[in-house]
Structures are given as C-alpha cells and as structure tokens.
C-alpha cells in the first residue's frame, strides 16, 4: 500500500502535463499505476467481489505483458469500496480517487442478465476511452463460456480504454463477399470454424448448415460463424480473446483489411497493433528483459464528503455585482447542491485569509441556513489565493485528514504568487474545483484543478448566461449514490426591456422530484414571479432575500410529475431562473446528463469536441434534443445542436452520447460550456441491449467436429423500462477550456470538412451502385461542403494509400447538402471491369470552398453478385404421348428417370448456392 501512496506525487505531475481525461493512470517503467476500479454503491456488499477483482487483474497482467511484446503490465490498482459497505481496518481513505475518475466501474447489469463487459469510448481511433463497465456476475465467472476468462477479457477492454482500438468482429454484419466467396467477419482470416444456423421450435433445437440468400449471395439471416475450440492461430485479442490459442493482437501482416468491422472503419484499415504502436505509451517504452512483478492493490473506502469553500472577497469583486452573484451561487450550493451528511467549512480571502466557518455537518436546514449567513458581504483588498487554500487545509485538518477532501475555489483576480503553494497542494491529497469569474482571473488557476482532478469552470460577467449558478450547481459529489446528487433541470436567463415577460416551462419527470428547488435572481428590483404546477395550481411561498437579490421556493415532498409553467416580469433588468431536484427514489435511476469537452485546452485551428452523455442508469436515451451553449471570455456565445448520429464528431450512433465539433473560436482565453437536453414525444430509452464497444459474445464452440451451443444472449422483456417514452428537461455544466493561438479577426478559414465515417454501399439493380453517407460541413460538421470526390478501386490498399490516383466517379450532378443531412448517390462504374464476382472498394472525400479537403472516408465495399438463373421448367409436349409409368421397364424409361433425378439435384444445388 505504501508504494501506491508514494505514486500519487507522480500522478499529479502527470495530470499537470494536460491529460485529456479524468483518469489518474500513469505509465511508470512499463507498469500502469493509479488504476481505479470502483464498486457501484448499489452493488450489495460481498467481500468475494474484491478478491475476484484482484484475481482478474493478476491474471490479466502477464497476458497483457506477452501480448504487447513484453512492454506493459499492471503495477498497482486501487479498489474503491462504497461508503455503505462495512468498514474494515485494511480500508483506507482515498486521496484523488473518486467514482468520477474511476477507470473501471463494477455495477449491476442493466438490462438484467446483460453481463457483457464493455468500454465507453466517445472519441476517434487512437484516443483514450472513458470507462470500462463490468458486472458482479461477470467477475464471479458466470459467463466464462460466452466471453472467456475474466483476465483475458480485461485486456480486451483495456485496449479499448487505453489505446482507442475497436472490435474486429461485427454483430450487425457477420459475413461479407470476397472473390465470390462468403467470408465471416473475423481477424485474422485464418481462424477456423463452421458457418451454421440454429433453429429452435417447441423447446427443441437443431443445427443446420447455412443456406445462401439468392439475392445477396450471403448466408441467410441467423447464420453464425462458430470457431473451433482448438486453434493454432495466436491472434487476435480484439476479435476473440476467449479462443485459448489467442495471445496476440493482429498486426499489419495478418490483419484482415477487408472485414467490415469497426476497427477497419474507424482506424483506416490499420491493425490494432499498428494503432498501439502509434500511442504515447508505446513511444516511451522499450521491451523489458525480466518478468514483471505481480500487481499490488489498495483498498480505499469512500467516506463522508468534506468540502471547504474558499471565496474571493478582494476589491475587484465589487465589479458588476460579482459579490452578490457569489452569494447567490453560494446559497444554491449550500441550500441544495451539497449532499445531506456532508461536512462543510468556509474561508474567504483578499490579501489574507479569514475563517468564516469551521467544518459543520449538514444534517438539516438549520446548518444550511447558518452557513449561508457566513457568505462574504463586503469586498476590498488584494488577492492571495494561496492564503485561502492553506487556510482551508487548516480548517479541514482540525477534524479530518486532507486526503480525499475538496476545496471549491472561486476568484476573479490575478495573483502572480499562486504557484508558491503548488507543492503543498500536490502533497495534500485535496481535490480542488476552480471557478474563474470574469476575464481577469489568474491564468494559473486551472493548474490547481488539473493537478488534483477537480472540476474547472468559468463564468463570465454576462449575468443572463447564468454561468456562476451553473458552475456551483455542477459541484455535486463525485462519489456516493446518484440518487443523492443534485440534478439541474433548468438554467435560463434574459435581459428584459419595458416590462417584458420571461416565460417558460420545466418538466419534472418520474425519475426526479425530491427536494425540487426553484431559484430566481434579478439585478435591480424584485420581479413579479408566477409559478404553476402541472395541475394548474399557483405556487406561493417564495422566500425573498432583497440584499443579494434572490428568491427561492423548495417544493415539499415529491414534486408533481408533469410540466411546470413560470412567468417572470420586470422592467429593464436581467433575470435568471435555476431549477434543481433529486432522484424520486433510490431504486429508479434518474435521467442524467453529463457533459464535457474532449480536452481542457484548444489550440487553433485544432477543433474541440463537446460531448453530452444522456442515460437512465446504463440505458442510453435516444432522440433527445440536445443543445450546447459555448461562451468565450469576451461574452460571445455559440449554440450547437449535438447529435447521436454516428457521424462527424459522434463516434457511435444511438449510444446516448451526443457530440459536435466546435470551431467557432473568436478569441484567446477561457470558454465555458453548458448543455441543455430535452426529451419529448420521440425520446425513448434504448430498446434491447445498447450499442457497446466490448468483448464478443461467443454463441458456441466446435468440439470434436460438433457444435456446442452456449446459452443465447438474454432476451429483453419488452414490458420493461426499455423503449418507453421519456419526457424530461436537464441542464449540465460542461466545465471550461482555454483557447490559444487564435488570430485576430477576420479569422482565416483553416477548417476542412470532417471525415465521412458512415459510408455504405450496395448494389442496385444489375450493376448500379447506391452510396449513402452523412454529409460533412464546410468546417468539420458545420455548414455545407463545396463538392465531393469519389474514388473507386478493385484494390482496397491502393484506394487507401493512393486515393488521388484512383479512378474517380463523375460527381458533376452531386451537390453537397447541409451538414448532417443524408446523402444518396447512385452511379454506374465506368472504365473498370465490373462483372459477376468483382469486389469494388469505394471512398469519398469532401472539399470546402477554399479547397481544404477532408480525410478519406471509411472504405465501403460492394461485390457484384448475379444470381444464377433458375432452370426453366420442362415444357409440356405438344404432341399427345402415351401414358408412361415411371417404374415401367419399357426401354428408354430408365434414362428418363436419371435425367429427372439430375434436374432435381441441379435445382437443389442452385438453391443452396
């Protein structure tokens, strides 16, 4: 355990280097340190689960070591144990480890029975994934036949998580045509097995050979490739690590480039080993000459939340009513955001620090009200951020160690001495969340968040954007049950003129409603406030604080489900509305929206990507209306519609992760991110098992030339929650990022169209080719491209590597549509041999108005299959014939019998293909 604690200092240095995810993982002398495996609070207490996690990682480490040619192994792992489990002497307090930055989450399956391991991956090929998901049933070994050993599966998922590679199988398309032959989607192509179909009726099942579809030339629906259990092939782990002989990743030499799997589509036909070789991990390591040690484990148990507010009250906080806005946001945090049972303290600072409240445990509204009265009411003096931080350390240490505690630091001022306390911060184990207020907050502020794994946010002086409320509303605990967290339903603001009204609605859905709070702020005079519940009953009883210009109403019990209506009226001033709630019960998962950027710094002209994950438990929410509001330090805002269409910035269609590129830089400095999500009549949870990037479910094995079928994947009860309509409203803060190298206006057009990632091709009629794809834009996935270039070849590598030399299709009549529209283009191949059995490979490149070109699209394949003609029926003789008995011994009848038998066999062979 000591070695793990000593590694924390190395981890924080790694975080300072600008990691793109929340993970604490660090590669140190070929060994991965700082891996966090968290057990979800809803998993029943079971000590054997901890041992099963240890066994999995211990088995996985030498398998990973050999698979990566002796480069990588698992050095140490922290297992995060829920607070509601019994305490034990060997359980210690976490430092920076939280559920938010866990690399692996062990949670109950949802839907029930779906124990398939998978990895959440939002980015492109080669980019790190977000989290691995495992179930207690999987760790207990209940799915060994279907997935293989837990350690081998963990290495498969680790490759998704760490190196951004994809599956080499495909559940949607299990076979393809190549040179007139039907081939399974496998990697490498030398894996042996049988193509069979299982038919079940009345409780009994039979195994049959697969028949060919006369139209497509492929096998009939339901046909499966069943691998032989005994193989000699050593690859590939990303196809099926469960095959006993498989101990390697596919390399450039044995990679099946034709197979229409996600690895080929997303990684430009590169093998998994080629992608791994391109990673930073690979570049900074060399093979080891000795065997690695076994992994070590630390057992960390989540404790009570300990948080200290560190609030700037320097002279600059008088600008633009910043101090009053601080009081408004601080009150939201203390009244609503921070969870019951938490310990909260408060420090203010200017040139020095002042303790406003020692740690107080929040057990009732009394403690919350007392803390709100400690918020600063006057501002003056300079800015000494380190004084505030060090004073907060003292407040916390009077009662608890600083390990795992949190600081919420808000400042609007510059401070050239902020780095003087960095070493103490690194050693403290404190997580620091930073809130930069206004355009002049210290540039080094974000370093405190990076080095401790805290949230970084920015709020401008544009009050109507409600940025400060959003920042404090996002500071719910990264630990504990989701049912205890504050969920933001609404965040709106508007500058009114001449007695205008701010009207709107908020949906309280069945998954929330507890502790629902309506909070209104104003800048001049108290507005008229009207609020009606879904039954039309007017809600009274708002508590008004005229000093900080805020009114709020806490709805008792569980708020009524439905549409709440509000109307606010005022003269020539700015109003904001914030609505928060909590889960209605501990058993029904609430709809949650979590948003973030792909990195915390953006360097022009590299685009940023904004993500919003919308789930109910582990079920993705589909067809929601999702909008991101991105505000620069100059107060300019850009609105983006986020999409879950599997195109542009979106990695996977219908996985509940909505994405979009951001290219509209207007200045250097900080940008804040907020996401609105609305579920309406078309919005629903995912039916069936969600789209996942994970280990392949093996339907069976060939043993002694016989098919041994595994239990089928669990069927989903259609009466369950899945597929049901979900109406909701949510707001989520996506934190902030810092832009650099943005030129002065006019900003040049340096953004090409984005890569087309969903190109599909099929034969139409006898020899026409039908192409479909999602339109890119002029700037990545915005606007409209100028033209398309379509290249075709009979050689897949020539098309990839020599696209400009490939045969180009005439696209004169193909006018690009607006970004994210569906494109359809039908053409007839010319100047190329396209006969029965020809395999043709196709790619598309988009070009914008200044001749910037996108990357080459994924490569689509079509194989021309001309069904054999059905033999004509034997015509009836035109002349009358004698009545002949087929069993007659008349000479010549025997020859006729043979001919009829032969014709029958011919028809059967044609039908079977």
Domain ranges, ordered by start, for the chain? 26-168+276-301, 304-462, 481-586, 603-685+725-740, 760-864
Position 718 confidence tier, pLDDT thresholds 50, 70, 90: very low
Give the pLDDT score at 867: 67
Walk across the sheet containing 860-863 and list its strands.
807-808, 787-793, 839-847, 860-863
Position 876 confidence tier, pLDDT thresholds 50, 70, 90: very low
Active-site option among 97, 157, 224, 274: 157
Position 479 confidence tier, pLDDT thresholds 50, 70, 90: confident
445-452 vs 8-16: helix axis angle to the nearest 10?
140
DSSP bridge pairs for 780:
753
Architecture of domain 304-462: 3-Layer(aba) Sandwich (3.40)
User: Nearest 5°: CA angle at 461, between 457 and 463?
Assistant: 95
Distance between first and last Cα of the chain: 63
150-163 vs 47-67: helix axis angle to the nearest 10?
70
The dihedral built from the CA positions of residue 650, 651, 654 and 658, taken in this order, carries a sign that is negative
- Whether 157 is catalytic is yes
Residue 581 has pLDDT above 50, yes or no: yes
Question: Whole-angstrom Cα distance, residue 350 to residue 441?
Answer: 13
Architecture of domain 481-586: Sandwich (2.60)
Biggest distance spanned by C-alpha atoms of the chain? 122
Taking residue 888's Cβ as centre, other Cβ atoms within 10 Å add up to 13
Residue 833 has pLDDT above 90, yes or no: no
User: Are domains 603-685+725-740 and 760-864 of this chain identical in fold?
Assistant: yes
Q: What is the mean pLDDT of the chain?
A: 90
Walk across the sheet containing 768-774 and list its strands.
760-764, 768-774, 822-827
Architecture of domain 603-685+725-740: Sandwich (2.60)
Give the pLDDT score at 871: 57
Give the pLDDT score at 251: 97
Give yes or no for a contact between 318 and 379, defined as CB atoms under 8 angstroms apart: yes
Residue 123 has pLDDT above 80, yes or no: yes
Residue 909 has pLDDT above 50, yes or no: no
The dihedral built from the CA positions of residue 204, 209, 211 and 212, taken in this order, carries a sign that is positive
Position 872 confidence tier, pLDDT thresholds 50, 70, 90: low
Residue 344 has pLDDT above 50, yes or no: yes
- How far CA 405 is from CA of 36, 101, 297, 490, 722, in Å, comes to 17, 15, 22, 29, 38
Q: What average pLDDT does the segment 358-365 reach?
A: 97
Question: Whole-angstrom Cα distance, residue 626 to residue 65?
Answer: 42
Length of the chain: 913
Position 673 confidence tier, pLDDT thresholds 50, 70, 90: very high
Give the pLDDT score at 445: 95
Give the pLDDT score at 203: 80
Burial of residue 138 (number of CB atoms within 10 Å: 0-12, 13-18, 19+): buried
Tell me the CATH number for domain 760-864: 2.60.40.10
Residue 273 has pLDDT above 80, yes or no: yes
Return contacts of 393-396, CB within 8 angstroms, 24+ apart: 393/424, 393/428, 393/430, 394/355, 395/308, 395/345, 395/347, 395/355, 395/358, 395/359, 396/306, 396/308, 396/345, 396/359, 396/430
Structure pTM?
Answer: 0.90
């Amino acid at each position: 355990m000591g070695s793990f604690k000593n590694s924390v200092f190395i981890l924080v240095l790694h975080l300072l280097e600008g990691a793109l995810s929340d993970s604490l993982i660090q590669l140190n002398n070929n060994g991965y340190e700082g891996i966090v495996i968290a057990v979800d609070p809803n998993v029943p207490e079971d000590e054997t689960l901890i041992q099963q996690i240890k066994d999995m990682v211990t088995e996985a480490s030498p398998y990973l070591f050999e698979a990566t040619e002796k480069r990588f192994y698992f050095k140490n792992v922290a297992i995060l144990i829920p607070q509601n489990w019994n305490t034990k002497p060997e359980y210690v307090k976490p430092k920076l480890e939280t559920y938010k930055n866990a690399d692996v989450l062990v949670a109950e399956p949802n839907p029930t029975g779906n124990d398939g391991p998978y990895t959440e991956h939002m980015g492109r090929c080669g980019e790190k994934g977000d989290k691995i998901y495992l179930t207690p049933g999987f760790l207990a070994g209940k799915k060994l036949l279907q997935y293989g050993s837990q350690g081998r599966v963990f290495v498969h998922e680790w490759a998704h998580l760490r190196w951004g590679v994809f599956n080499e199988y495909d559940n949607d398309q299990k076979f393809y045509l190549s040179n007139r032959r039907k081939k399974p989607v496998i990697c490498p192509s030398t894996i042996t097995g049988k193509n069979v179909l299982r038919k079940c009726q009345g409780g009994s099942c039979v195994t049959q050979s697969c028949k060919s579809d006369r139209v497509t030339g492929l096998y009939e629906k339901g046909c499966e490739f069943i691998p032989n259990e005994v193989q000699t092939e050593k690859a590939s782990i990303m196809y099926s690590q469960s095959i006993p002989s498989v101990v390697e990743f596919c390399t450039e030499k044995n990679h099946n480039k034709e197979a229409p799997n996600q690895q080929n589509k997303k990684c430009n036909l590169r093998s998994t080993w080629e992608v791994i070789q391109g990673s930073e991990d690979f570049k900074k390591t060399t093979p080891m000459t000795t065997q690695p040690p076994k992994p070590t484990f630390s057992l960390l148990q989540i404790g009570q939340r300990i948080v200290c507010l560190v609030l700037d009250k320097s002279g600059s906080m008088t600008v633009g009513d910043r101090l009053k806005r601080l009081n408004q946001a601080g009150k939201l945090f203390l009244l609503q955001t921070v969870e019951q049972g938490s310990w909260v303290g408060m420090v203010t600072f200017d040139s020095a620090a002042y303790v406003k409240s020692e740690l107080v445990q929040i057990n009732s509204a009394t403690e919350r009200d007392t803390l709100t009265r400690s918020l600063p009411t006057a501002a003056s003096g300079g800015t000494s951020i380190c004084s505030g931080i060090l004073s907060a350390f003292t407040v916390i240490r009077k009662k608890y160690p600083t390990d795992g505690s949190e600081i919420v630091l808000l400042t609007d001022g510059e401070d050239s001495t902020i780095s003087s306390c960095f070493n103490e911060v690194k050693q403290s184990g404190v997580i620091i969340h930073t809130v930069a207020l206004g355009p002049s907050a210290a540039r080094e502020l974000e370093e405190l968040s990076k080095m401790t794994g805290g949230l970084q946010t920015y709020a401008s002086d544009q009050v109507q954007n409600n940025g400060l409320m959003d920042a404090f509303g996002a500071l719910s605990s990264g630990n504990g049950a989701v049912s205890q967290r504050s969920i933001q339903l609404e965040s709106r603001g508007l500058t009114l003129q001449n007695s205008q009204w701010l009207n709107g609605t908020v949906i309280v859905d069945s998954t929330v409603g507890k502790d629902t709070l309506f909070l209104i702020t104003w800048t001049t005079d108290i507005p008229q406030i009207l609020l009606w519940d879904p039954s039309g009953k007017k809600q009274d009883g708002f508590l008004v604080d005229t000093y900080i210009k805020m009114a709020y109403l806490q709805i008792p019990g569980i708020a009524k489900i439905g549409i709440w209506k509000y109307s606010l009226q005022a003269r020539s001033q700015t109003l904001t509305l914030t609505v928060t709630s909590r889960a209605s019960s501990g058993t029904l998962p609430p709809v949650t929206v979590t948003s973030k950027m792909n990195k915390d710094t953006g360097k022009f002209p590299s685009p940023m990507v904004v993500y919003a994950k919308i789930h109910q438990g582990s079920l993705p929410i589909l067809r929601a209306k999702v909008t991101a509001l991105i505000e620069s330090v100059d107060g300019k805002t850009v609105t983006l519609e986020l999409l879950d269409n599997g195109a542009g910035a979106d990695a996977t269609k219908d996985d509940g992760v909505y994405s979009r590129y951001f290219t509209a830089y207007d200045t250097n400095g900080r940008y804040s991110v907020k996401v609105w999500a609305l579920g309406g009549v078309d919005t629903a949870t995912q039916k069936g098992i969600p789209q996942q990037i994970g280990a392949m479910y093996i339907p069976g094995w060939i043993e002694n030339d016989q098919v041994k079928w595994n239990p089928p994947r669990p069927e989903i009860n259609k009466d369950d929650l899945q597929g049901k309509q979900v109406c909701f409203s949510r707001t989520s803060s996506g934190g902030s990022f810092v832009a650099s190298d943005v030129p002065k206006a006019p900003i040049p057009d340096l953004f090409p169209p984005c890569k087309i990632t969903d190109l599909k091709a099929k034969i139409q009629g006898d020899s026409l080719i039908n192409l479909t794809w999602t339109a890119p834009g002029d700037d990545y996935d915005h606007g409209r491209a100028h033209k398309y270039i379509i290249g075709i070849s009979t050689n897949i590598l020539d098309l990839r590597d020599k696209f400009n030399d490939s045969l180009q299709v005439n696209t004169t009549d193909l006018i690009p549509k607006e970004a994210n529209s569906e494109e359809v283009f039908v053409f007839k191949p010319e100047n190329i041999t396209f006969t029965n059995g020809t395999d043709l490979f196709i790619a598309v490149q988009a070009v914008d108005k200044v001749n910037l070109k996108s990357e080459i699209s994924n490569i689509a394949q079509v194989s021309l299959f001309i069904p054999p003609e059905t033999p004509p029926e034997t015509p009836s003789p035109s002349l009358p014939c004698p009545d002949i008995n087929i069993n007659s011994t008349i000479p010549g009848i025997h020859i006729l019998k043979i001919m009829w038998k032969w014709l029958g066999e011919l028809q059967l062979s044609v039908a079977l293909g």
